[in-house]
Structure 1
Amino acid sequence: MRAARFAMLGLAAALVATAAVARSDDPREVDWRKAATAQDRARLRNWRDAWIAALAKVRAAPGGASALAADAALFDPDRVIQGAALGPGAYRCRSYRLGGVGPASRALLAGGWRTCRVTEEDGVLRFATDGDQRESGTLYDSTDSRTVFLGTLALGDERRPTPYGRDLRRDMAGLVERIGPDRWRLVLPFPGFQSTLDVVEIVRG
């Protein structure tokens, strides 16, 4: 009887341990720092440096200061409203590239509107855009005012994005911030191509 009792206790302990591992592996509970590459942790750590460098390049370009002033909420790095995080649904998005890298790059380049969406599966939120250059990835809880985005960039007629962490130039790391009623932005510091900072404006579809 005593041996059977010890066996039952051992089985119960094993089940508890298994449940604990399952909970720690739940993607809804993963800390973004554990999911991010070292490169992307550094990008997010230096997000303000990217803003400062990008804005300086834009202001130095002809008409740059007036372009920034025309949408101060979008281009103010400190414009963040707590609460009302980006939730599942249909949205419209528009990308801005600030602080072009390379001799032929422009200081500020604005794209056209395109569709984008947030989907939820098993409690995990994913953000994706349409168009010739498509961002897609996972949204992680961070603070009351910011959500962390980790994803990749797909180009042209590629059918599916490259898995995160496989191609460092395609990897993307950013902060999703609410900047107004039904208005958000995805800030991508030091992206792999063409700019110092990318800002994706997000509004309800």
Structure 2
Amino acid sequence: MRSVILAVLVSCGLAGCAARRETVVVSASQVEIVDDGGAGQVIRPADQAKIDALPAIWQAAWGKSPGRARSREGALLEPAAALDHPELSPGSYNCRLIRLGGRAGTRRVRNFPTHFCYVGAADGVLNFTKQTGSELPAGLLYKTGKRYTFVGALQRAEGDNSLVYGADQARDVAGVVERVGPFRWRMVMPVGEQDLDILELTPVPVERQAS
């Protein structure tokens, strides 16, 4: 393994209602993180272990979720639904959080309102920002086969994306992004041994994209 220094400065705009439009900046400087040996992938071993355990975590969470929820959400919640050609285009996305497992409560599934996310690009690397809502992951996306590996941090407030992966391990998040249908992706973040946070990503219509 080798240590690397990550330096990124990304600016992106939020699409949607005019009242919601704002500029969000993601910045990182002199943050030391660990390369797991993958092609350009930078991630701590503990977070890589969570991703490696994702199939077992997913089966545990999915198997205990109500059949009605699985039927309603379709491929979004199916463990093996990832499709080829996962490429994400830079721009604004609608993103909806679905929580699976014990953290979701007695029903094992909890849906949250739709918010806005943004995918940008800098120096050949995609970056992701959840711009609105109560939980705000932001970080980088590394292409790994037919999915992306996401490494980032939970931000403290909308518009304040000063936290980067590696700065505060308690706020670090990691997961994968997969395509599960036409213009439909999911970001899957394992939490603990039997819980998942799944973000459904669908592009904001072209006419509402920030210029």
TM-score (norm 2): 0.72
Q: Confirm or deny that 1:45 pairs with 2:44.
A: no
Alpha-carbon deviations, 1:74-123, whole Å to 9, x = none?
Answer: 11111111014112111110011100249x66511111111111111121
Q: Confirm or deny that 1:190 pairs with 2:197.
A: no
- Residue 32 of structure 1, CA deviation: 6.5
Amino acid paired to 1:39: A
- Residue 171 of structure 1, CA deviation: 1.0
In the aligned structure 2, how far is the partner of 1:198 from the partner of 1:26?
26
Helix, strand or coil at the partner of 1:73:
helix
In the aligned structure 1, how far is the partner of 2:159 from the partner of 2:107?
26
Q: Decide which structure has the larger Cα Rg and report it.
A: 1
Provide the residue aligned with 1:175 in structure 2.
Answer: 176
Provide the residue aligned with 2:113 in structure 1.
Answer: 112
Provide the residue aligned with 2:161 in structure 1.
Answer: 160
Amino acid paired to 2:55: R
In the aligned structure 2, how far is the partner of 1:32 from the partner of 1:105?
41
Provide the residue aligned with 1:204 in structure 2.
Answer: 203
| Contact 2:86–2:178 (Cα < 8 Å) also in 1 | no
Structure 1 residue runs of 4 or more that deviate by more than 6 Å after TM superposition: 24-27
- Residue 162 of structure 1, CA deviation: 2.2
In the aligned structure 2, how far is the partner of 1:81 from the partner of 1:147?
12
Q: Which is helix-richer, 1 or 2?
A: 1
| Contact 1:153–1:161 (Cα < 8 Å) also in 2 | no
Provide the residue aligned with 2:11 in structure 1.
Answer: none
Distance 1:158 1:106, change over 3 A: farther
Distance 1:161 1:110, change over 3 A: farther
Matches within 5 A, 1:1-205: 31=38, 35-58=42-65, 64-101=66-103, 106-131=107-132, 132-143=134-145, 145-156=146-157, 159-190=160-191, 196-205=195-204
- Residue 26 of structure 1, CA deviation: 9.2
Question: What root-mean-square deviation, in Å, do the aligned CA atoms of Structure 1 and Structure 2 show?
Answer: 2.8
Alpha-carbon deviations, 1:41-76, whole Å to 9, x = none?
Answer: 111110101101111332xxxxx2111111221111
TM-score (norm 1): 0.74
| Contact 1:184–1:202 (Cα < 8 Å) also in 2 | yes
In the aligned structure 1, how far is the partner of 2:63 from the partner of 2:40?
29
Aligned length: 172
Amino acid paired to 1:124: V
Distance 1:158 1:202, change over 3 A: closer
